[in-house]
Structure 1
Amino acid sequence: MTANRSILVTGGTGYVGGRLIPMLLDRGYRVRAMVRSPQKLLARPWAGHPALDILPGDALDQASFIQAGEDCDTAYYLIHSMNAHKRRFAEADRKAAENMVACAEQNGMQRIIYLGGLGDKDHENLSHHLRSRHEVEGILEAGRVPVTNLRAAMILGSGSASFEMLRYLVERLPIMITPRWLRTPCQPIAISNVLDYLAGCLSAPQTTGKTLDIGGPDILNYQDLIDIYCRVAGLPKRIIISVPVLTPWLSAKWIHLVTPVPASIAQPLAEGLSIPVICKEDMIREWVPVKLFSCEEAIRTALKRVQQEQVDTCCFDGGGQLPPEWTTCGDADYAGGTVMRRGYRIAFEGEISKVWEAIEAVGGRNGWYFAQSLWRLRGMLDRMVGGPGLMRGRRHSQKLRTGDALDFWRVVAHEPPRRLLLLSEMKAPGDALLEFRIHSKSQGQVRLEMVSRFLPKGFSGIAYWYGMLPIHDWLFKGVLVQIARKFGDSPTGSPHVFSVEKELECKL
């Protein structure tokens, strides 16, 4: 490392990047985080570290990429698409990798460190996503800046897609009908060991210009992982029936219905398990010596952190759509139409801090305080058509931060103790926002508001808004009443609809 130069970390809001940044800061490095949504990182507890710079940037925008890499000595390239439903994902991965090369070369970097995937690139059943990972390796290596390629298989840790898929499958299905790939050998690795290797490469010059396989001490198959999880969680051993007809695509659809992992992510995970993914060499163990955790230790640690609500990052953190432009300033002709809006208000005696605790705890296992069966039905319908539904719940039962997934919403503004703004990610013919506002009134009174906004897409969107309006009126008023009863006292009248002024929307 060169003095006074930073380390560029891309993918900082993702599962690995969000854990690597604080580790590098703790080890005394200066870090530059390039992210599309800086608000997501600003909500992290380490966001105010004096050695951290957070810059907006897009991997597909070469100019912003190059600018973010100024005065950086090394870059961690942790960007890749896991979404099987995005069209031309390989093209996007290719473009982003080319921009990484340009950024490194123009800023005179000494090294790029890339986290890729295990799997023989010449295997006839290599998935499109693993093939894209290998292509990215080739693009990075073709540049003038040396590259360290770390190849990993399944990553086990609290909040990882692989662990969440395993956890929900085992806990919800005492009997499983499974594909043959359940017995394909793999070499999982604990997230803590992945981070150890990523950070350790900085002080191991031997790793420069090398492609290195990283894995844990165990080579097993997915059925072995199911048995280990049962043992760690104290569950009866699951009955497994293997059949030849379940393709990765069919497996992904089933995983989508049973677990919070969407089919778009489950499919590349399943495809990756359909071929052997084991280390062919272990040179990194000599150059970056770390204590490797067994699969049982990794699962035990991950499960403990989930139970203690100490999940630092989650597979649902990264990506997610950015707030649409119309959320910035109300109606926007350029955004495609007129924003539909509806406000609901109730006043009652109470403490703002207590009301805020109720608002911040909404969703997940805590529920939505009113008509729980209706919320579950909407989540089930959303899940059936490919949406997130309610399964992904919350990262923490009481605390939220910007960027968190919350059932089928995404937190886009979190301003305690006054305002919470949620962006819908469920399948609907338009974009939707739901906002909670808390206002103080005289003599200890609180005014609580819920504001719904919807930008319809075509006639179906308009029909959806007006068709759902009576249900939303009943539902949102009921939520307000229940919050007032549980966390306040003496409501002054029933909740009522109020007019939402457009100028109040220019707050994002």
Structure 2
Amino acid sequence: MTTEKTGRPVFVAGATGYIGGRLVPRLLDAGYRVRALVRAPEKLQSRPWGEHELMEIVKGDVLDGETLKQALAGCQSAYYLVHSMNPAVGDFARTDRQAAVNMAQAAAAAGLEQIIYLGGLGETSGQLSHHLASRTEVGELLRQGPVPVTILRAAMIIGSGSASFEILRYLVEHLPVMITPRWVDTPCQPIGIRNVLHYLVGCLQVPALRGGTFDIGQPEITSYRALMKIYAEEAGLAKRWIIPVPVLTPRLSSYWIHLVTPVPAAIARPLAEGLSSPVVCRDRRVIELLPQELFDARKAIRLALDRIRQQQVETAWTDSGRIPPAEWSIPGDPGWAGGNLFEDARKVILAGSAEEIWPAVSSIGGEVGYYYADWLWRLRGAIDRLCGGVGLRRGRRSSKELYPGDAIDFWRVVAVARPEFLMLSAEMKVPGKAVLLFRLRPLSATSTELQQIARFLPRGLLGLLYWYAVLPFHHFVFNGMLNGIARASGKQLLAAAQKQPAADQG
């Protein structure tokens, strides 16, 4: 029996992640009602499909069993796309274990017909990495309940914005000569993101898939060395020299990946550990049960590169980050009463409307940069990277779109209201909390005031010292940034950047 479209909702746990953020709009396009469980509803509400008539967004967490049961009530099937492999989570395996148990219990209470889980590909009889072992354990825990669980097992997913693809992209583009671990020749069978999504949607439509475990991958077995060679060719790069050495352990590899790519060591290490195990498909029944054109690695890489070049990256691995609470940044809020809240506010006045100036504001970061003294921002990013932070290499998913939860270099978008307001929260290593705000306030039909406000809540003495150490640079960097935004907007500067009293911020 297939899932009845526009009937009982299809539940999606992990809708703000890399896979979930692409799956939901495809389910909606196929005519399914979708109920998405998210911790931060604003991350989906602002998406083009966030207010779709078949879309329902529920605030909750898979670690909260009771709210999960309430969210699943009335649903027919569920996708479980949750993984806790992120730097903010200590023991991700334990967290995933509890979440899977909650899901199995809640699914049973709701009387679901099916759970669909995207797991990791690997030899279950061999020595799995901690990451792959956790992915396998999640599938087993989901199956301990009475609800049939369909498990799709995938190796590296090739798609614009995926963590594994970003590692490949940065290594090949930035290193003509690569010193690599021995796993560079490990057999693997990657799969393109479009093929993954086709299989996921198809699980609702083919009864024979229900309750089974299926390996999904491209037709050919390849290696990471071959993927690097193919990427260089598709990207138009000169031949890359790859030199495998035995001394690079997964831990050392993760630090190397951390320094060269945007992916932090906390995420890179479990990925590197997984790369050391052969990941090839053994059970290929899904090819007959749900036929489609399976892309080889070359076509999948070409499509991913096209998306990046066209600024059409739907989701990225950075999407899964939390939107940090920033109530403390509002002057007068009791949440920070008794502490020091430092502020630097500046403004310019431009001859133009907020709508005309907004594109220059919302394009900040990434390849566009910060409009002034970019070398200082790059230096700050390099220092942050050396200290274990995210640095500037994350860039941004798109230079054209901006949604709450998006990463911009070492910032996270907290709130955005086009063409009036943008709030960024700092994710770099800093002894305190910091936000950067931009406001556009119409002064007349032909002029607009652009405000830029930096606020910092220090943590201890080190936080105080940090603020006063960077304070001398604010005049040059922040004034330069505002004047640079003005130039980028193409609008006449009526009043150059100047310091703004707190009481004059409106």
In the aligned structure 1, how far is the partner of 2:269 from the partner of 2:499?
46
CA positional deviation for 1:353: 2.2
- Local SS of the residue matching 2:204: helix
Conserved 8 A contact 2:100-2:141 = yes
The answer to whether the aligner puts 1:372 opposite 2:374 as a matched pair is yes
Which amino acid in the other structure matches residue 244 of structure 2? S
In terms of mean alpha carbon deviation, does 55-64 or 461-470 score higher?
Answer: 461-470
- Residue aligning to 1:464: 466
Query: Would the alpha carbon gap of residues 186 and 313 (structure 1) be closer, same or farther in structure 2, given more than 3 Å must change?
Result: same
Query: Would the alpha carbon gap of residues 343 and 329 (structure 1) be closer, same or farther in structure 2, given more than 3 Å must change?
Result: closer
In the aligned structure 2, how far is the partner of 1:465 from the partner of 1:500?
21
In the aligned structure 1, how far is the partner of 2:479 from the partner of 2:124?
56
Conserved 8 A contact 1:422-1:435 = yes
- Residue aligning to 1:247: 249
- Residue aligning to 1:11: 14
- Residue aligning to 1:326: 328
Matches within 5 A, 1:121-140: 121-124=124-127, 126-140=128-142
Which amino acid in the other structure matches residue 454 of structure 1? F
Query: Would the alpha carbon gap of residues 83 and 442 (structure 1) be closer, same or farther in structure 2, given more than 3 Å must change?
Result: closer
- Residue aligning to 1:291: 293
Match of 2:76 among 73, 88, 99: 73
Identity %: 52
In the aligned structure 2, how far is the partner of 1:486 from the partner of 1:154?
39
CA positional deviation for 1:183: 0.4
Conserved 8 A contact 1:176-1:240 = yes
Q: Deviations over 1:365-415 (max 9, x none)?
A: 111111111111111111111211111112222332222111111111111
Match of 2:49 among 21, 46, 51: 46
TM-score normalised over the length of structure 1: 0.95
- Local SS of the residue matching 2:495: coil
The answer to whether the aligner puts 1:235 opposite 2:232 as a matched pair is no
Conserved 8 A contact 1:37-1:322 = no
The answer to whether the aligner puts 1:186 opposite 2:188 as a matched pair is yes
- Local SS of the residue matching 1:113: strand
Which amino acid in the other structure matches residue 288 of structure 1? L
CA positional deviation for 1:455: 2.0
- Local SS of the residue matching 2:98: helix
Conserved 8 A contact 1:59-1:96 = yes
In the aligned structure 2, how far is the partner of 1:207 from the partner of 1:494?
62
Query: Would the alpha carbon gap of residues 277 and 345 (structure 1) be closer, same or farther in structure 2, given more than 3 Å must change?
Result: same
The answer to whether the aligner puts 1:498 opposite 2:472 as a matched pair is no
Q: Deviations over 1:2-56 (max 9, x none)?
A: 5721000011111100111011111111000111111111121111211110111
Which amino acid in the other structure matches residue 304 of structure 2? A
Match of 1:383 among 377, 385, 404: 385
Conserved 8 A contact 1:331-1:338 = no
- Residue aligning to 2:33: 30
Match of 1:424 among 416, 426, 449: 426
- Residue aligning to 1:478: 480
In the aligned structure 1, how far is the partner of 2:49 from the partner of 2:87?
32
Which stretches of structure 1, 4 residues or more, deviate above 6 A after TM superposition? Answer: none
CA positional deviation for 1:137: 1.1
Query: Would the alpha carbon gap of residues 497 and 101 (structure 1) be closer, same or farther in structure 2, given more than 3 Å must change?
Result: same
Conserved 8 A contact 2:324-2:425 = no
In terms of mean alpha carbon deviation, does 171-180 or 204-213 score higher?
Answer: 204-213
- Residue aligning to 1:261: 263
- Residue aligning to 1:103: 106
- Local SS of the residue matching 1:245: coil
Conserved 8 A contact 1:341-1:500 = no
Query: Would the alpha carbon gap of residues 328 and 139 (structure 1) be closer, same or farther in structure 2, given more than 3 Å must change?
Result: farther
In the aligned structure 2, how far is the partner of 1:77 from the partner of 1:412?
26
Query: Would the alpha carbon gap of residues 335 and 86 (structure 1) be closer, same or farther in structure 2, given more than 3 Å must change?
Result: farther
- Residue aligning to 1:113: 116
Which amino acid in the other structure matches residue 199 of structure 2? Y
CA positional deviation for 1:336: 8.8
Which amino acid in the other structure matches residue 255 of structure 2? K
CA positional deviation for 1:329: 7.3
- Residue aligning to 1:277: 279
Query: Would the alpha carbon gap of residues 500 and 10 (structure 1) be closer, same or farther in structure 2, given more than 3 Å must change?
Result: farther
Match of 1:156 among 155, 158, 176: 158
Conserved 8 A contact 2:7-2:32 = no
Conserved 8 A contact 1:34-1:54 = yes
Aligned-residue Cα RMSD (Å) equals 1.9
Query: Would the alpha carbon gap of residues 494 and 203 (structure 1) be closer, same or farther in structure 2, given more than 3 Å must change?
Result: closer
Conserved 8 A contact 1:84-1:268 = no
In the aligned structure 2, how far is the partner of 1:238 from the partner of 1:427?
33
Query: Would the alpha carbon gap of residues 197 and 495 (structure 1) be closer, same or farther in structure 2, given more than 3 Å must change?
Result: same
CA positional deviation for 1:361: 1.1
- Local SS of the residue matching 1:317: helix
Conserved 8 A contact 2:345-2:454 = yes
- Residue aligning to 1:452: 454
CA positional deviation for 1:450: 0.8
- Local SS of the residue matching 2:492: coil
CA positional deviation for 1:351: 3.0
In the aligned structure 2, how far is the partner of 1:85 from the partner of 1:410?
14
- Local SS of the residue matching 1:151: strand
Conserved 8 A contact 2:397-2:407 = yes
Q: Deviations over 1:449-487 (max 9, x none)?
A: 111122222221222122222222332122112333443
Conserved 8 A contact 1:484-1:491 = no
CA positional deviation for 1:433: 0.8
Query: Would the alpha carbon gap of residues 113 and 467 (structure 1) be closer, same or farther in structure 2, given more than 3 Å must change?
Result: same
> Structure 2: any 5+ residue segments left out of the alignment?
none
CA positional deviation for 1:283: 1.2
> Structure 1: any 5+ residue segments left out of the alignment?
none
Match of 1:204 among 203, 206, 210: 206
CA positional deviation for 1:310: 1.1
In the aligned structure 1, how far is the partner of 2:148 from the partner of 2:330?
42
Conserved 8 A contact 2:81-2:117 = yes
- Local SS of the residue matching 1:477: helix
- Local SS of the residue matching 1:257: helix
